A and B are shown apart, each in its own frame.
Chain A
Amino acid sequence: MRAPLVDEEAVSTADLAAPVAAAAPSDGSWAALARAVFAALLKHGTLTRAAIAELTGLSRVTASGLVDQLIRRGFVVQAEDVPAAGGGPNARAYALAPDSAYAVGVAINDYAIAVMTTSLSGAVVSRHEEPIVDIDEVVPAVEKAIRAELAKLNAAVSKLRYVVLGASGVVEPTGHALAYAVNRPSWKTTLAARLRPTLPCPIVFENDVNLAALAEAHVGAGAGLGDKLDMALVWLDEGIACGVIVGGRLYRGAAGWAGEIAFFPSSVEGGADNEPASRDMTTTTLQRAIGIRGVTALAKSHGTDAESLLRFVNAGHDAGRARAELARRIALAVAGPAFVFDPELIVLAGCVATRGGEALLEAVRAELAAIGPTPTKLALTTIESDAILTGSMLVALSHARDALFDDDPGNDAHNQAHSQARRGGPA
């Protein structure tokens, strides 16, 4: 009768935040108790056994036993810089061992591979970017880059706990394949599947705009708006798409297609000739109208270039009209999530949004109000760069932390293959 069909696997922005240490473990399982101890140390840095017991609500004996188990596994160390005042084991302080595990976020587009590595504590320990030389050889290039970053950190590959690959396209709910890959049919089935056997941890795909939305909700314009935030991110760049956050969690839809507004039939006439029209070629899609090529075509038709149009510089006699048309088209993309999801906040991101800045945003607000009444607030992204990469790193970190305690303490020789089999990925 009651059907709490909660998307268990969806990534929560709350998951990404440092877990609340004061909350008592939700169930009595070893993993839940270990997570509570971990969360307390993550939040407070250095704690005595007594403080851990107090913060987690566990008995001193239980807390102390868990600390010993986490030390044995290498995730917790005795803090060296804390003087043993008064001596005795009770005065010793403990901290997370940040180099005991790593998570990697990867962002891939047509031109480059970017890799961001984080330690268990959430600190970004390396960032690497390289051009894609051969688009069909992107899998070995990603693997090589990840291994090279770990080597630079003197970290064994076995310490890698999770990899998230952000790429454009529709990701199947399994996270293991693309259901739809624009311009990259060779990636459709191969990318994650070919990486998995060569790296000793779970590897999943996530749609790049979904990752940008998660990053925005967590460390961008949505930060501080609560862990039940309803938010949408409208990505205005080469491609057009929308990432949807419902109740603080990424909303992918039933098959990963949620927010694929590029296909929307629009009332715009013309648009970029080198972008697809609707499937039956009778209407201009939003992609054709306001993808970066559509913006370029619009600028050209008004005797200017995209950069000048967006920055509103070298404004010729026609610049005002061109700018108004641009805002009108962007409002068409914003209207979808605004009227259908009524989120608290819609964030505009991508190069068109950031180049256009506050002046463009203000014009889009006016055009949206002309479409209909909506209480949704609009804002620009506050993430200056690497939104997709940051999103994939944050998701990988969240999964890595979660997976640390998947096995029970009787199985201290962390059986990676077993763990991997059980945790296929976030979807």
Chain B
Amino acid sequence: MSAPAMVNARHLNPRAVYDQLLDHDALTRDQLSHLTGLTRVAASASVEHLVERGLALAADRSAGRGGPAARRYSLTPTAGYVVGADITHGNVTVAAADLTGRVAATIRRPFEDPDDAAAVLSQAVASCLREADAEPARLRRVVLGSPGVIDPGTGEFAFANILPTWKTTVTAELRRQLRRPVVFENDVNLAAMAEARFGRGRGVPHLVFAWFGGGIGLGLVLNGRLYRGRKGWAGEIGYLPAPMPKAHVEVEGMPRSLHQLASAVAISALAEAHGLDADPSVAVVAAAQAGAAGEAFLREVARRVAMVTSAAALLVDPSVLVLSGGYVTAGGEPLLARVRDEMARISPTPAPIALAAVHDDPILRGALQTALDDARDALFNG
């Protein structure tokens, strides 16, 4: 019986029209009225409102017939731009998209623990906008993906995994330099968003995206929204204590945790103990091809992955549990089939598990989509 926040109908109708124009290239007023369920008068007023604001424009006239009824409207691509970035060890990839979602430019720059990260990043954003032929004034949102824990309250890093010399004020500095809303987002969270929108999570309410790389992390999309936790620490499942196998090889300085059990370093040590290549991705592929000889290693890897996925499934019970990263991606379906078996021994939860479906630049795509969502919301909440 809570009273939902009052939403002004003045903003609601143009938003409905805007969303239809996003999904269709060009529409007449009649079509807009039909698709939105608005009266023809309301749909017309809404589309005129969008035209006045420069967000939509009258396109061609359909089938050569004249009159305003036949005029078709579409979104103005140049009305605004967003920028997304994926910051990794050594490189930053920056992409600019217009408000319709079309990617206008993608650039890559070296990025090696610079002293002034904010300056380097703001220059990269400016270069990308130039390449996209976009006026800097039309930039509406910047979302930057990076490993680390970001406090959703302040937008600053609680800690930055790969860039330890970053100042804790990098977000504030970047906002000052770009004079635009800038947010950092955890890279796994952005990959989870990409998977939720374009991959296995389409049409389901709750997605867990489990990343197996140098570290282990979960991205949680609950009720269709990115769930970060109170201070941005949600999904840090690697810290969970785990039962260690008898033949376990201790990794220096790491507590007995899921991280120590299933991170790339741990699987590398396991591979060497099995006489396989120390690169865990190479090792799982070799083991899968080796048939019976590789089975013991593959089983043990699957058992460790299943420890992580079972814990995630028992806590979150997602609609789908998506696995990605490093040796898990390399292991493919042969590894996944064994993970399913091992999971069934631990957890009675019904969550289906699958490999990630978004393969190309999931972090960058997640960053752009998050920026687009925020920018479009901001258009109608002013």
Binding site for B on A (CB under 8 A): 1-7, 12, 14-15, 17, 19-20, 23-26, 35-36, 38-39, 180, 227, 230, 242, 244, 246-247, 251-261, 263-267, 278-280, 282-284, 332, 335-337, 339-344, 370-376, 398, 401-402
Q: What residues of B have a CB within 8 angstroms of the CB of A375 in the complex?
A: 230-231, 233
| Cβ < 8 Å to A, chain B residues 1-16 | 1-4, 6
- Min CB distance B212 to A, Å, is 16
B243 contacts A by Cβ under 8 Å: yes
Q: Is B166 an interface residue (CB 8 A)?
A: no
List B contacts of A344 (CB < 8 A).
Answer: 230
Q: How far is the CB of B11 from chain A (nearest CB, A)?
A: 15
Q: For A372, what are the chain B residues with a Cβ–Cβ distance below 8 Å?
A: 236, 239, 255, 257
CB distance from A364 to the nearest CB of B (A): 14
Q: Is A335 within 8 A of B240, CB to CB?
A: yes
Is B243's CB under 8 angstroms from A260's CB? no
Q: Sort A-B residue pairs by CB-CB distance and give the 3 closest, nearest first.
A: A253-B317, A342-B229, A372-B239
B230→A265 contact, CB < 8 A = no
- B42 interfacial contact with A, CB 8 Å: no
Q: Does B78 contact A (CB under 8 A)?
A: no
B351 on the A face (CB < 8 A): yes
A224, chain B: closest CB distance, angstroms:
16
Known: A254-B206, A371-B255. A26 touches B346 (CB 8 A): no
Q: B314 to A260, Cβ gap below 8 A?
A: yes
Cross-chain pairs A/B with CB under 8 angstroms, 23 sampled: A1-B23, A4-B224, A19-B1, A246-B222, A246-B223, A247-B223, A257-B317, A257-B350, A258-B317, A260-B349, A263-B310, A263-B346, A266-B241, A283-B346, A340-B218, A341-B234, A342-B230, A342-B232, A343-B229, A371-B257, A372-B257, A375-B233, A376-B230
B312 lies within 8 A of chain A by Cβ: yes
Shortest Cβ distance from residue B150 to the other chain A in the assembled complex, whole angstroms: 12
With an 8 A cutoff between CB atoms, is B102 at the interface?
no
Does the CB pair A267–B244 fall under 8 Å?
yes
CB within 8 A of B237: which of A20, A253, A332, A340? A340
Taking CB atoms, residues of chain B closer than 8 Å to A1 are 19, 22-23
Find out whether the CB atom of B203 lies under 8 angstroms from the CB atom of A371. Answer: no
Q: Which of A3, A26, A244 contacts B4 (CB 8 A)?
A: A26
The answer to whether B218 touches A20 (Cβ under 8 A) is: no
Other than the given A36-B3, A242-B315, A254-B351, 7 more pairs (CB < 8 A) read: A20-B2, A20-B3, A26-B3, A26-B6, A246-B227, A337-B315, A372-B236
The answer to whether B344 has its CB under 8 Å from any CB of chain A is: yes
Residues of B within 8 A of A (CB): 1-4, 6, 19, 22-23, 197, 203-206, 218, 220, 222-224, 227-244, 255-257, 307, 310-319, 344-351, 373
A244, A247, A265, A340: the one within 8 Å of B235 (CB):
A340
Contact indicator A341/B243 (Cβ below 8 Å)? no
CB neighbours of A242 from chain B (8 A):
315
Residue pair A336, B315 in contact (C-beta under 8 Å): yes
Shortest A38–chain B CB gap in Å is: 8
Q: For the complex formed, measure the closest distance between the CB of A237 and the CB atoms of chain B, giving whole angstroms.
A: 18
**A342→B236 contact, CB < 8 A:** yes
Tell me the nearest residue of chain B to A35, going by C-beta: B1
Q: Hey, which chain A residues are within 8 Å of B314, CB to CB?
A: 257, 259-261, 263-264, 336
Given contacts A261-B315, A340-B316, is CB(A402)–CB(B1) below 8 Å? Answer: yes
Q: How far is the CA of A278 from the CA of B236 in the complex (A)?
A: 24
Contact between A267 and B241, CB atoms less than 8 A apart:
yes
Whole-angstrom distance between the Cβ of B171 and the nearest chain A Cβ: 18
Hey, which chain B residues are within 8 Å of A255, CB to CB? 317, 349-351
How many angstroms from the CA of A340 to the CA of B218 in the assembled complex?
8
Chain B residues with Cβ under 8 A from A15's Cβ?
1-2
Residues of A within 8 A of B312 (CB): 340
A residues near B255, Cβ cutoff 8 Å: 370-372
The answer for the CA separation of A4 and B23 in the assembled complex, in Å, is: 16
Cα(A17)–Cα(B3), bound, Å: 11
B239 vs chain A, min Cβ distance (A):
3
Q: Closest A residue to B221 by CB, please name it.
A: A5
- What A residues does B350 contact at CB under 8 A? 254-255, 257
A263 close to B348 (CB less than 8 A): yes
A-chain residues with CB within 8 Å of residue B223 when the two chains form the complex? 5-7, 246-247
A13's closest neighbor in chain B, by CB? B2
Residue of A242, A251, A401 with most partner-chain B CB within 10 A: A251
Chain B hits for A227, CB < 8 A: 2
One of B234, B240, B373 near A2 (C-beta < 8 A): B373
Name B307's contact: one of A39, A265, A340, A376 (CB within 8 Å): A265
In the assembled complex, which residues on chain A have CB atoms less than 8 Å from the CB atom of B315? Answer: 242, 244, 258-259, 261, 336-337, 340-341
Select one of A230, A254, A279, A373 contacting B230, CB under 8 A: A230
Most central of A227, A282, A370 by chain B CB within 10 Å: A282
B369 to chain A, nearest CB (A): 9
| Known A340-B316, A342-B234, A344-B230; contact A265-B205, beta-carbon cutoff 8 A | no
Residue of A nearest to B317 (CB): A253
Assess the A332–B241 pair: CB atoms within 8 A. yes
Task: Please indicate which of the listed interface residues A1, A25, A280, A335 has the most CB atoms of chain B within 10 Å of its own CB.
Answer: A1
Kindly state the separation between the CA atoms of A257 and B255 in the bound complex, as whole angstroms: 29
Q: What residues of chain A lie closer than 8 Å to B344, measured between beta carbons?
A: 279
Quote the shortest CB–CB distance from A159 to chain B (angstroms): 19
Q: Which chain A positions have C-beta within 8 A of B345?
A: 278-280, 282
Q: How far is the CA of A336 from the CA of B240 in the complex (A)?
A: 7
CA distance A126 to B288 in the complex (A): 65
Residue of B205, B223, B232, B373 most packed against chain A (CB within 10 A): B223
Contacts A341-B234, A374-B233; A265 near B1 (Cβ below 8 A): no
Alpha-carbon distance between A279 and B206 when the two chains are bound, in angstroms = 26
